[in-house]
Structure 1
Amino acid sequence: MANSKFEYVKQFEQPDQLLPNTWVVVRIDGRGFTKFSTKYGFEKPNDKRALDLMNAAARAVMSELPDITIAYGVSDEYSFVFQKSCTLFERRASKLVSTIVSTFTAYYVHLWTSYFTDIPLSPPLPSFDGRAVCYPSIQNLRDYMSWRQVDCHINNLYNTTFWALIQLGGMDATEAEQSLKGTFSADKNEILFSKFHINYNNEPEIFKKGSVIFRDYELVEPGTHNVVEEVEKMAEPIQQSKSQAEKDKKKRAKAPIVIEHLDIIKDDFWDRRPWLLSNKPGQIPKET
């Protein structure tokens, strides 16, 4: 590239490298989605079409970026977890975040008509923002994922009760908010059951647990892999040969990407899927 007197402006660019040997989580959120959901008449407290659209866009992102090992979504947010050994874009925060945000937004707009067949998009169009956070240990990463799922449950129980008071109980928003002020989970469950005969336990799992997306390999028996000990004791990721890296890439490409609504707080989910933390692909499920 030719030098010029204007090239000095490059000095204003600041490094934004993410910490090496950590799990990187890129979390995106819808911008102004309260107004957006009102504009397009999203059902309250949950719109299955909107959640399915979010999941479809997130699944498309995972298909394009094999370095993503797992993603978790609820409402208008999604968290994408990159492998600990990921070197994508040399782990630069700005490039990683901008790639996830732009790819997700593009697929969200592209897939809109598949889920909202009779409501065309119009400006202002949907958009998302994002941030990247490094988590150095498996416990940190799992606690982050647990936090998001607990948050999903707390918010959904509140919203389910709030909208039941409005839609079935005839209250306005202010009255419903006052009725729920200072209540605990047990109180909200009691309100739903005693006043509206709604058993919260019977609500769809997607509403209560959110959505988990990952590459699906054969499950293993709990206790046969001590992934935590193996991963945590490594000072730095093992450098793979080009041939092994290419084999792993092909295995990831062949693995089906599934969308589930599971408990990711308990150990069983992680123990049976050691590939989520080991950075090593598992066994491709045998075709039946």
Structure 2
Amino acid sequence: MAKSRFEYVKKFELPDPLMPNTYIIVRIDGKGFHKFSDVHSFDKPNDVRALDLMDTAAKTVLNEYKDVVMAFGESDEYSFLLRRTTTLYNRRRSKINSSIVSLFTSAYVFHWARFFPNTPLLYPPSFDGRVILYPNIGEVRDYFSWRQADTHINNLYNTTFWALVHGGLTTAEANKTLQGTNSKDKNEILFTKFGINYNTLPEMFRKGSVCVRSLSVEEPQKSFPEQQAAHGIMTLSIGPSTSGNSNTILSRKEKVYQGTEGSPMVLHVDIIKDLFWSERPWLLS
């Protein structure tokens, strides 16, 4: 870049590196999505098309940024987990935050017609983003447990609310009916008044969406102990050399899977319990 007398203005840019050796989570949230969902006639309480679109936008982020090893989404929100050792954009907060939220937003618009072929996009959707740092594994797990618990709480309320509205109440009457109720009360309303067993509703609605990369395992690797696979060990067999040495011994090189390779996939599973994490130790390694 050519130097000029105006270059001094660069000194006003403040560095914003994130603390090293910490887990980075970027949470994006739809701005004004109550209005957006009404204007575009989303199904209530859950629109599968809208949720699938959010998942597709999240997979776009994982495809672009290999250091994003996991994402969790509900409604108009998505949280992205970056590896503890990531050096993406030299860990600059503003670059990481703006890049992820802008890519997610553009992917949402880009794929809109695929999921809403008969609903034109009437105005641009927007998302805000924030960056949170967590120093240890326990806090990262608690964060995602919090978001999944929030998914259940919100979905149970919304499912009951819209059942009441579809059953003939006004929105004000439905709100008043649900004031002071707990989870047991809402489940009772759903079952006794509408014959809905909440626990049989799609897991996508009750548990949210978890986006991770799939670990593709080669056939020769299947003979290794399952415990190795559970801990993310990928083994590459290297054949004998052609040097003519009859004593050449086959060697294996072990590579710990980091969660940065493979195709993103969406799951609807429990991430509060240990099983999800024990099956994917690379997420928090």
Q: TM-score under structure 1 normalisation?
A: 0.84
Pairs within 5 Å for 1:190-201? 190-201=188-199
Whole-angstrom distance in 1 between the partners of 2:42 and 2:129: 23
Query: What is residue 259 of structure 1 aligned with on the other side?
Result: 266
Q: Which amino acid aligns with 1:196?
A: F
Whole-angstrom distance in 2 between the partners of 1:135 and 1:4: 42
Whole-angstrom distance in 1 between the partners of 2:138 and 2:256: 29
* Higher helix residue share: 1
RMSD: 2.3
Q: In terms of Rg, which structure is larger?
A: 2
Pairs within 5 Å for 1:15-164? 15-123=15-123, 125-164=124-163
Quote how far apart the aligned CAs of 1:12 are.
1.8
Whole-angstrom distance in 1 between the partners of 2:106 and 2:91: 22
Count of matched residue pairs: 256
Quote how far apart the aligned CAs of 1:256 are.
2.6
Identity of aligned residues (%): 55
1:6-26, CA deviations, whole angstroms, 9 ceiling, x for partnerless residues? Answer: 222222211211110011000
* Higher strand residue share: 2
Quote how far apart the aligned CAs of 1:221 are.
4.9
Whole-angstrom distance in 1 between the partners of 2:227 and 2:86: 27
Quote how far apart the aligned CAs of 1:160 are.
0.3
**SS where residue 260 of structure 2 aligns?**
helix
The farther-off stretch of 203-212 and 4-13 is 4-13
Whole-angstrom distance in 1 between the partners of 2:231 and 2:51: 34
Task: Determine which of 211, 214, 219 is the counterpart of 2:212.
Answer: 214
**Residues 260 and 248 (structure 1), Cα distance of their counterparts in 2 relative to 1, 3 Å cut:** closer
Query: What is residue 245 of structure 2 aligned with on the other side?
Result: none
Quote how far apart the aligned CAs of 1:247 are.
9.9
**Contact between 1:101 and 1:130, CA under 8 Å: does it hold in 2?**
yes
- Is 1:205 aligned with 2:213? no
1:147-171, CA deviations, whole angstroms, 9 ceiling, x for partnerless residues? Answer: 0000000000000000001102x11
**Contact between 1:221 and 1:272, CA under 8 Å: does it hold in 2?**
no
**Contact between 2:26 and 2:130, CA under 8 Å: does it hold in 1?**
yes
Question: Structure 2: which 5+ runs fail to align?
Answer: 218-225, 233-252
1:176-208, CA deviations, whole angstroms, 9 ceiling, x for partnerless residues? Answer: 111111111000000000111100001100000
